[in-house]
């Protein structure tokens, strides 16, 4: 291949080469490149560069509303010209249009349905009212569909015609799913989210290929769960109620039960939750992954976990102090990843000797020696200080251990001894990776560590512990 001189005009390169170069740019850069000249515009319009589209519609002021209208119209026109090449489309409506302008959203959705015949992934997040329900039926190539609504979620009609669709996510402030709603017949993964979920749709029982179900929000009527014999992964995040049908799903391999702090907690039901969790752990012996983030007052399973001999990943935390010891038992021998409240791990240093296959340890909600609110500290924390040394002595001898993660919820109360011990462990075991996550968006560890003097108290921690994005289990 002949060398290209540095003075060679860009437009004299082969069109295929220019398209390949442009494929490395993001959408904003491609939009600017299309304004250079007609040659660049034709390259940007190449089918290979029109397979993905992500649009965020913004603007709340009067001028912003006009800009939002223009964005929707522009996207509709773009779909008319390039929709036949599109494979992935994500639309996020970051505001609320006046009712008279929601027709623009309907036109956009109808354009996506009628023109994007090769579309395989579609994600639409509308804050406005539901759009015309008939737009989804033509999308016969669709494999993944996610719909978000800021009001009542009304699923489009014709979903039953999407034979190739295997992943469906439906979110809304209130569920609009009823017994007349038809779902894609070959679904494998389904997510339902609603602050007011109501009854779990009975038509889920007909989804014989469904292996993953995620429920977000308040789904009280869950009798359909017992009919989902193909289910292997179940994630429940809501106001704290554990469904009684849980123990009937004996084929489950992954289970997550988490209390959603944005929901109304069901405090009187904590005793009932405890019993339901224990019954589930007694019967769900195929579990390889178990995550429990439960309400204050809910007892975690103890001897009921003895039969979970295939468990590889375990996460345990409880809203409000304190969790106590981790449950003992043979399930520790198969464990490769353990994430739990730091206080629980410190309470259980003698049990960690049984975790002979553990490769990753995550300490959640690192406690502190000082805090503005003493009620946030576990009453026995002062007694646990010697356990910090015991924890790192175990880690130094655990040859399978490869990573330790620190997740902090209150960086202003982080205990210095924990990070001093981590620094010493890193010097003795440089093969162990260490990272720290803030549990929320802010404040960040770096800023808080500097503000509270951790940089001075634990010099060198920044070289040993990597700071990363907020943690998600």
| Nearest-angstrom CA–CA distance, 302 and 43 | 63
User: Which H helix or E strand runs over 452?
Assistant: none
Nearest to 315 by CA among 286, 346, 284, 294: 294
What percent of the chain has pLDDT above 70?
69
Helices H, strands E: what count in the chain?
Answer: 12, 16
- Chain centroid offset of residue 80 CA: 33
Model confidence, pTM: 0.80
pLDDT tens per residue across span 295-324 = 666 677 888 888 899 999 998 876 544 556
Tally Cβ neighbours within 10 Å of residue 47.
Answer: 11
pLDDT of residue 372: 38
Checking if the pLDDT of 213 tops 90, the result is yes
Q: How confident is the model at residue 432 (pLDDT cuts 50, 70, 90)?
A: very high
Contact predicate 225/190, CB 8 Å: no
Intra-chain end-to-end CA distance of the chain, in Å: 50
| Nearest-angstrom CA–CA distance, 219 and 213 | 13
Q: How confident is the model at residue 412 (pLDDT cuts 50, 70, 90)?
A: very low
Task: Tell me the two tokens of residue 63.
Answer: 């001028």
Contact predicate 188/212, CB 8 Å: yes
Nearest to 155 by CA among 138, 136, 139: 136
| Nearest-angstrom CA–CA distance, 137 and 147 | 14
Lowest mean pLDDT among 269-283, 301-315, 445-459: 445-459
- Examine residue 434 and say whether the peptide bond preceding it is cis (omega within 30 degrees of 0): no
| Nearest-angstrom CA–CA distance, 114 and 273 | 47
pLDDT of residue 357: 94
Compare 293 and 366 and report the one with higher pLDDT: 293
């Amino acid at each position: 291949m002949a060398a290209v001189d540095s003075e060679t005009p860009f437009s004299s390169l082969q069109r295929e080469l220019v398209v390949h170069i442009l494929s490395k740019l993001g959408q904003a850069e491609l939009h600017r490149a299309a304004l250079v000249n007609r040659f660049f515009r034709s390259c940007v319009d190449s089918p290979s560069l029109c397979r993905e589209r992500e649009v965020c519609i913004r603007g709340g002021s009067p001028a912003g509303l006009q800009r939002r209208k223009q964005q929707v119209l522009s996207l509709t026109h773009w779909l008319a010209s390039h929709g036949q090449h599109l494979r992935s489309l994500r639309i996020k409506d970051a505001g609320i249009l006046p009712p008279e302008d929601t027709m623009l959203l309907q036109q956009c959705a109808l354009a996506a349905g009628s023109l994007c015949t090769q579309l395989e992934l579609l994600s639409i997040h509308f804050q406005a009212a539901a759009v015309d329900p008939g737009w989804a039926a033509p999308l016969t190539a669709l494999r993944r569909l996610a719909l978000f609504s800021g009001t009542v979620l009304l699923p489009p009609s014709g979903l039953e015609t999407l034979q190739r669709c295997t992943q469906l996510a439906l979110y809304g402030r209130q569920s609009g799913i009823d017994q007349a709603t038809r779902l894609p017949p070959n679904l494998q993964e389904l997510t339902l989210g609603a602050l007011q979920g109501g009854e779990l749709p009975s038509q889920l029982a007909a989804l014989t290929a469904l292996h993953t179900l995620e429920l977000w929000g308040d789904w009280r009527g869950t009798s359909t769960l017992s009919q989902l014999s193909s289910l292997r992964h179940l994630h429940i995040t809501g106001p704290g109620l554990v469904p009684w049908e849980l123990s009937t799903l004996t084929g489950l391999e992954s289970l997550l039960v988490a209390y959603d702090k944005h929901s109304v907690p069901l405090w009187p039901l904590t005793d009932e939750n405890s019993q339901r969790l224990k019954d589930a752990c007694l019967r769900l012996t195929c579990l390889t992954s178990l995550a429990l983030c439960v309400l204050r007052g809910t007892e975690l399973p103890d001897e009921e976990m003895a039969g979970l001999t295939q468990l590889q990943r375990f996460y345990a935390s409880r809203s409000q102090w304190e969790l106590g010891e981790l449950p003992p038992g043979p399930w520790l021998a198969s464990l490769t990843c353990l994430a739990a409240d730091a206080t629980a791990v410190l309470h259980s240093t003698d049990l960690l000797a049984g975790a002979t296959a553990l490769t990753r340890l995550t300490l959640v909600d690192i406690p502190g020696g000082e805090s503005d609110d003493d009620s946030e500290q576990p009453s026995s924390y002062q007694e646990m200080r010697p356990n910090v040394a015991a924890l790192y002595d175990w880690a130094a001898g655990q040859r399978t251990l490869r990573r330790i993660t620190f997740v902090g919820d209150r960086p202003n109360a982080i205990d210095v001894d924990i990070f001093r011990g981590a620094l010493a462990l890193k010097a003795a075991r440089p093969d162990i990776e260490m990272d720290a996550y803030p549990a929320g968006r802010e404040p960040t560890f770096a800023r808080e560590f500097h503000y509270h003097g951790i940089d001075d108290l634990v010099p060198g921690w920044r070289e040993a512990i990597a700071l990363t994005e907020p943690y998600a289990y």
